[in-house]
Amino acid sequence: MPQLAVVWRRTDKPGHEFCTLAKTDHGMKLTGVAVLTNEGVPCCLQYSIDCDAQWRTLLCRFSGYIGKHAVTLDIRREGAKWLLNGIEVPEVAGADDIDLGFSPSTNLLPIRRLALEVGKSANVKAAWLRFPELTLEPLDQTYTRLGPDTYRYESAGGTFKRDLKVDESGMVIEYPDLWSAESRA
């Protein structure tokens, strides 16, 4: 049974996402579906992410449609190694987190894993599923906890910055210029 559920509205273009977080025997599981438009193309994207008890990604299953094209991906972390549909992607070796390039849900993973105190920062390397290309690439990120419910997220060498508002669980409720939570349970 999910511990929480959220619906986000895309603020820069048409789209919504529904996500749940549930406890499992071995950690946590994020599941969701995003229905959005990307450059005039309708997209329906489903994901399921299994994490260990330390919030490190173990498995991400991804499927759906980008326009009329069906997509299915199996992304796994085995120790430091990452596999995309069974093929090793050495560029993302050592990453702890998956980052879905179309979703605010995966910011929860490093936020929970790092458990930063207010005023503290940490650099992380994510395995970034670039969207709509669906390539798995390394993405260096910095999270700085600005307050009890605010984290500064930086990537692209600090050229991309957003101050994320989160709820008590660490789930993003406001991702400026991109996503805003419409409802939570």
- Position 2 scores a pLDDT of 77
Helices (H), strands (E): how many in the chain? 1, 15
- Position 7 scores a pLDDT of 98
Give the residues of the chain that fall short of pLDDT 50. Answer: none
- Position 52 scores a pLDDT of 96
Whether pTM > 0.75 for this model: the answer is yes
- Position 77 scores a pLDDT of 97
Q: Which residues contact 144 (CB under 8 A, 6 or more apart)?
A: 116, 120, 121, 151, 152, 154
- Position 76 scores a pLDDT of 98
- Position 156 scores a pLDDT of 85
Q: Which residues contact 20 (CB under 8 A, 6 or more apart)?
A: 2, 4, 5, 30, 31, 32
Q: What's the CA gap between 60 and 97, in Å, rounded? A: 10
Q: What is the pLDDT of residues 40-88, one digit of tens each?
A: 999 999 999 999 999 999 999 999 999 999 999 999 999 999 999 999 9
